[in-house]
Amino acid sequence: MNLFAEIRELVITCLDALVAEGRLPAGLNTGAVTVEPPRDAAHGDMATNAAMVLAKPSAMKPRDIAEALAEKLTADPRVDMAEVAGPGFLNLRLAPAVWQGIITAALTSDGFGRSDMGQGQKVNVEFVSANPTGPLHVGHTRGAVFGDALASLLDFAGWDVTREYYINDGGAQVDVLARSVYLRYLEAHGQEVAFPDGTYPGDYLIDTGKALKAKVGDAYIDQPEAVWLDDVRSFGTEAMMELIRIDLASLGVEMDLFYSEKSLYGTGLIEAAIKDLDSKGLIYKGKLEPPKGKVPEDWEPREQTLFKSTDFGDDVDRPIMKSDGSWTYFAPDIAYHYDKVQRGYDQLIDVFGADHGGYVKRMKAAVSALSGGKVPLDVKLAQLVKLYKDGEPFKMSKRAGKFITVRDVVDAVGKDVTRFHMLTRKNDAPLDFDFDKVTEQSKDNPVFYVQYAHARIASVLRKAVEAGIVVDDTTLAGADLSGLTHEAELKVAQKVAEFPRLIEIAARTNEPHRIAFYLYEMASEFHALWNRGNDDTSLRFLQDGDSSATQSKIALIRAVAVVISSGLGILGVTPADEMR
């Protein structure tokens, strides 16, 4: 239940009543009417812009509308006060019983904050999709964490979510992998090997080379590439995907589906997808102009098979077939998205690294063309992560096979810290990741701040149990909450009430980072209330000898714990019950 939506309903009802009484003209569009928390809490609990957005269409003064509306609203028992302010805002103060009701709702509803706004629509979230040529490195971490949290968020908001990983196992890079594994295989047989340019020199392939030796013995020694390439390629790819699965698991990411690019070949799916586009008149043979301004040195016009992506907002048409007749990378990608559309998703989301930004328009164009504009594709770019250690930038070199892996990061700072920190930035803004700062256990570090709030609540609950108070949620929800009227307590309840609304905003904008910021604010409100208890003993959660008052206060902080736990759950962070 979203309280803001509920009050908005009330506002609309009151407007309708005014229309019925002839105090407002009929036929007004109330779509732009919003009910929001005011930026400044002093203005009240909620504010509506109704008077301002309706002033022009009704040819009335905002203040007149606002005053009439205020009169109607205050007749409702939920509204204690409605006051016209500023240019025509209507500030509302709600009855304490409303906030007390929120606490009950948080304790009794199955998944407080869950929304049905997704209406069970099927959404596919594709993320990570790193090449199967080695373990995941830090660059992939952000996309992995972001995609996973976004998927959880959409699930929480009522979508039917599939988490999917596209394995790029069909291109030249897996041949490079195969050759690199082969070198490690020779090495396992005692040969001296060198890693020329265009091979992967990383240590992680040593074991793969040994494993290959264990499997095929010396069968591939001194054999031409044609003999072993296919087998070593699939052997190597399998091994790398196994590594990647482990890396993902260490981040708490579990895919529903791994989809192989290779599986697209030879099944006719690529041909079918291209044929679909061709039937829409979007495939033609032609030559592209050189890129404007900066012509590559070896540029020469070539006749290629092109997709008319400019019809869908792209800058140039894109090649799907090389001049030698083989597919470009784009072709299987079109087929893959074609398959996703065929599988009946209502909505597709791709999470790309920032270096794939140039790919967004053509992919959107393809999906738009393939689905007849019916299936929206949203592409989220995960910007780069800059690593720091001791305040110094940390460089990686893929060339030397030296790079920081996901596991290095998780081993150093832990899954929870990694995930939370990665989610404290908008996905399209660059992010600094300082190994020293993120492990610091202080207020500087939002993870610990939020965790600490949850742990404090758990601690109070333990003390309450020792004092013989019954603290299960059902009992607490049934407790008499009418004593919770102090503004400090109501403030906390109000923050709890924002959670369902926040979930819907975060889901609508595909921005899980909003949850991280909300949780920080929620924790802050809680810590503030806790410390008020130092000065004012009536605000302490455990009230000696007054089990009824204690129960109502415990109910309040249990509601906070429910929200923190639930929000952290979406981010994939474990709520802590104690921190020692």
Partner RNA sequence: GGUCCCGUAGCUCAACUGGAUAGAGCACCUCACUUCUAAUGAGGAUGUUGAAGGUUCGAGUCCUUCCGGGAUCACCA
Residues 449-468 that bind RNA (CB under 7 A): 449, 452, 455-456, 459-460, 463
Minimum separation from the CB atom of position 288 to RNA (A): 5
Please answer whether residues 416 and 575 qualify as being in contact, where contact means their C-beta atoms are separated by less than 8 angstroms. no
Instruction: Select from 203, 258, 211, 261 the least CA-distant residue to 231.
Output: 211
Minimum separation from the CB atom of position 305 to RNA (A): 11
Closer CB to RNA, residue 39 or residue 214? 39
Residue written as token pair 């921190």: 579
Exactly one of 71, 254, 355, 480 binds RNA (CB under 7 A); which one?
Answer: 355
The yes or no reply on residue 37 touching RNA (CB under 7 A) is yes
Exactly one of 254, 411, 432, 436 binds RNA (CB under 7 A); which one?
Answer: 432
Closer CB to RNA, residue 98 or residue 385? 385
**b vs e for 552-563, b when ≥16 Cβ sit within 10 Å of the residue's Cβ?**
bbbbbbbbbbbb
Exactly one of 58, 448, 469, 515 binds RNA (CB under 7 A); which one?
Answer: 448
Q: Looking at residue 290, what DSSP letter applies?
A: P
Closer CB to RNA, residue 254 or residue 444? 444
CB atoms within 10 A of CB 190: 6
- Phi, psi (5° rounding) for residue 36? -135, 160
Minimum separation from the CB atom of position 302 to RNA (A): 5
DSSP 486-499: -HHHHHHHHHHHHH
381-420 binders of RNA (CB under 7 A): 381, 383-384
Minimum separation from the CB atom of position 11 to RNA (A): 13
Instruction: Determine the Cα–Cα distance for residues 99 and 185; give it in Å rounded to an integer.
Output: 67
Minimum separation from the CB atom of position 422 to RNA (A): 12
Instruction: Determine the Cα–Cα distance for residues 201 and 198; give it in Å rounded to an integer.
Output: 9
Minimum separation from the CB atom of position 155 to RNA (A): 19
Q: Is the dihedral of CA 531, 535, 538, 544 positive or negative?
A: positive
Minimum separation from the CB atom of position 23 to RNA (A): 21
Instruction: Determine the Cα–Cα distance for residues 486 and 509; give it in Å rounded to an integer.
Output: 35
442: amino acid identity, one letter: S
What is the CA angle 49-55-58, rounded to 5? 130
Minimum separation from the CB atom of position 5 to RNA (A): 12
The yes or no reply on residue 63 touching RNA (CB under 7 A) is no
Contact track, RNA, 528-567, x by CB under 7 A: x-xxxxxx-x-xxxx-------------------------
- Phi, psi (5° rounding) for residue 335? -60, -40
The yes or no reply on residue 292 touching RNA (CB under 7 A) is yes
Bridge partners, residue 515, by sequence: none
300-329 binders of RNA (CB under 7 A): 300, 302, 304, 315, 319, 322-324, 326, 328-329
DSSP 426-449: -TTS-EEEEHHHHH--STTSHHHH
Closer CB to RNA, residue 186 or residue 483? 483
The yes or no reply on residue 262 touching RNA (CB under 7 A) is no
Residue written as token pair 């929304």: 115
Q: How far is CA 151 from CA 173, 377, 414, 420, in A?
A: 29, 15, 21, 15
The yes or no reply on residue 436 touching RNA (CB under 7 A) is no
Closer CB to RNA, residue 487 or residue 535? 535
Closer CB to RNA, residue 132 or residue 211? 132
Please answer whether residues 448 and 441 qualify as being in contact, where contact means their C-beta atoms are separated by less than 8 angstroms. yes
Minimum separation from the CB atom of position 400 to RNA (A): 18
Exactly one of 190, 293, 344, 545 binds RNA (CB under 7 A); which one?
Answer: 293
The yes or no reply on residue 358 touching RNA (CB under 7 A) is yes
The yes or no reply on residue 429 touching RNA (CB under 7 A) is yes
The yes or no reply on residue 505 touching RNA (CB under 7 A) is yes
101-140 binders of RNA (CB under 7 A): 131
CB atoms within 10 A of CB 396: 14
Instruction: Determine the Cα–Cα distance for residues 100 and 483; give it in Å rounded to an integer.
Output: 9
- Both structure tokens of 417: 């810290």
The yes or no reply on residue 168 touching RNA (CB under 7 A) is yes
73-92 binders of RNA (CB under 7 A): 85-89, 91
183-242 binders of RNA (CB under 7 A): none
Site residue total, RNA (CB under 7 A):
102
Write the CB contacts of 168 (distance below 8 Å, at least 6 apart in sequence): 129, 131, 132, 174, 261
Please answer whether residues 347 and 121 qualify as being in contact, where contact means their C-beta atoms are separated by less than 8 angstroms. yes
- Both structure tokens of 216: 């095929």
The yes or no reply on residue 426 touching RNA (CB under 7 A) is yes
Closer CB to RNA, residue 188 or residue 503? 503
Stretch that binds RNA, among 156-164, 339-347, 352-360, 415-423 (CB under 7 A): 352-360
Closer CB to RNA, residue 29 or residue 442? 442
Stretch that binds RNA, among 18-26, 39-47, 139-147, 187-195 (CB under 7 A): 39-47
Closer CB to RNA, residue 162 or residue 543? 543
Instruction: Determine the Cα–Cα distance for residues 279 and 272; give it in Å rounded to an integer.
Output: 10
Terminal-residue alpha carbon distance, the chain: 36
286: amino acid identity, one letter: G
